[in-house]
Amino acid sequence: MNLNYAQQKKSSYLQWFIGGGVTLAIISVLVIRTLMMQGLPYDEMFLSSYALVDSLEIPPRPGIAGIIITGPKIEPVYFKIDVQRAGLRKLDWDEIVAWDRTADVKIRATITDDGSLVFDEVTDVYCPGHTSAGRIIASVVKTWAYTPYKTGTIRFWFNVASTGQKLTIDVRGLKRKPGIPGKIDVFNGLLYYIDGLSRRDVNSNGIVRF
Amino acid sequence: MAFKPWNSNKRKMQLVSLIDMVFILLVFFLVTIFIVREPREEMRLAVPTPENKPGRAQILIQLLPSDEFFMIDESAMPVVESVFRDVENRFGYLSVQNLQQKKKEVVFRVLTERFTYPAEQLSHKIQQLLNKANRSPNEKYFVLIRCPDEVPYARVIEVIEKLSQAQYNNVIYGCVGGSLEEIRNCKQIRIVTEIDEKGIKRDNLWITF
């Protein structure tokens, strides 16, 4: 009876000891964990120990490697009839048709540095059989002036009788002026100053042979 | 008085409270496991980070420790171009590398002479920019503010406050550290013609560190 009591008492102590030990161990783990976390920033609180081995590379921010200051837009320029020039005269296609409905006039001209159109009415105007139409057309064309972006030879072919392209302008002899920086694009704009002629009747890159 | 008889069988450990506590701890760990998982999930997220590219801006404001500031915008472009032409004409005999160095030195000197202003003019300059931005609401103006370590950051805040007064919020800013010395000691200053995605051609001033 006494022995049984002693055994039971011993077993009871053992149970208390094991239970208390487990509890204390868990509490100790929690306390240690809490203490370890106290000094850490929030981001690092949950990082596992192996993660600390890796180092994060801070990406360089824009502006550290260099600076780019965006400049102004480089606008293209247009080689075209300069309507601001004084003395510019407009050709009326209907009038030409009224004068000579079969007129066939070719003009070879030079565009100077300032954009003026220069030609000799004797040597540079080719109009066999249509002299009066040639003279009238040449007198108007002579007043034309262009924006000063290209120089060289320009040829016109006024083919009044044509049902297709009534005006052909050969611009292959034109070159951009040397003073214009290469980064500026020079485009061709309106190369004629004529009323009563639609755009589809004009070929501005055609070949004109005398 | 009748005492309760001693019953040794009742002196057993009460496991109920221990089990309660263990369950509470279990719940605690289950919850914290999810908290631990979240940052790991976050680590897998593809967060866009800035690329190692030069800071692109239309206006550069470099604060100086000497109560002055250096400010350049597109108006500096013709100055740089003319300096480059001048240097090429005068020092054309130099090797390519030395010519680049010469260009850099002369451009830096000319730019700092022309575009360094006393601090009092900062408000006026920014106001000019704001007026321009207010006149064209569809345009965006990006200002790069550079502040060296010696200058108190309060000056940057002042600049930001002023820039924030744009009527259409079309003045954007970015701040980086850096001194005028870094610009002086940069690798290269050059003008690069670029065509953007809209096909617009521009002359840009590149300062490479």
The answer to whether residue B39 scores a pLDDT higher than 70 is no
**A59 → closest Cβ in B21, B49, B176:** B49
Higher pLDDT, A66 or A38: A66
For B30-39, what is the mean pLDDT?
A: 69
User: Sorting pLDDT into bands at 50, 70 and 90, what band is B26?
Assistant: confident
- Strand, helix or coil at B124? helix
Q: What is the pLDDT of residue A207?
A: 85
Q: What is the pLDDT of residue A58?
A: 60
d(CA B202, CA B195): 6
Q: B67 — alpha (psi -120 to 50), left (phi > 0) or beta?
A: left
Q: What is the dihedral of CA A22, A25, A29, A35, to 10 degrees?
A: 140
CB contact under 8 A, B74 and A70: yes
| Mutation for A interface: B22, B53, B175, B198, most A CBs within 10 A | B53
d(CA B184, CA B191): 16
The answer to whether residue B4 scores a pLDDT higher than 90 is no
CB contact under 8 A, B13 and A15: yes
Q: What are phi and psi of A21, to 5 degrees?
A: -60, -45
**Which residues of chain B does A60 touch, with a Cβ-Cβ cutoff of 8 Å?**
50, 52
d(CA A46, CA B208): 41
ipTM of predicted assembly, 2 dp: 0.73
User: Sorting pLDDT into bands at 50, 70 and 90, what band is B8?
Assistant: low
Q: What is the pLDDT of residue B32?
A: 77
Q: Is the full-model pTM beyond 0.95? A: no
Concatenating the DSSP letter of every residue in A33-101 gives HHHHHHTS-HHHHT--GGGGGS-PPPPPPTTTSEEEE---B---EEE-B-TTSTT---EEHHHHHHH-T
CB contact under 8 A, A63 and B200: no
CB contact under 8 A, B55 and A67: yes
pLDDT tens for each residue of A58-113: 666 677 788 999 988 999 999 999 999 999 999 999 999 998 999 999 999 999 99
Contact map slice: A 88-117 vs B, CB within 8 A: none
**Which residues of chain A does B193 touch, with a Cβ-Cβ cutoff of 8 Å?**
74, 183
For B26-50, what is the mean pLDDT?
A: 69
Look-up: residue for tokens 């065509």? B195
Q: What is the pLDDT of residue A55?
A: 62
Q: What are phi and psi of B147, to 5 degrees?
A: -130, 120
The answer to whether residue A45 scores a pLDDT higher than 90 is no
CB contact under 8 A, B72 and A69: yes
User: Sorting pLDDT into bands at 50, 70 and 90, what band is A6?
Assistant: confident
| Mutation for B interface: A67, A74, A186, most B CBs within 10 A | A67
AA identity, residue B162 = K
For B193-200, what is the mean pLDDT?
A: 88
pLDDT tens for each residue of A146-191: 999 999 999 999 999 998 899 999 999 999 999 898 889 999 999 9
B58, B142 Cβ separation under 8 angstroms: yes
Q: What is the pLDDT of residue B169?
A: 87
d(CA B101, CA B188): 8
User: Sorting pLDDT into bands at 50, 70 and 90, what band is B6?
Assistant: low
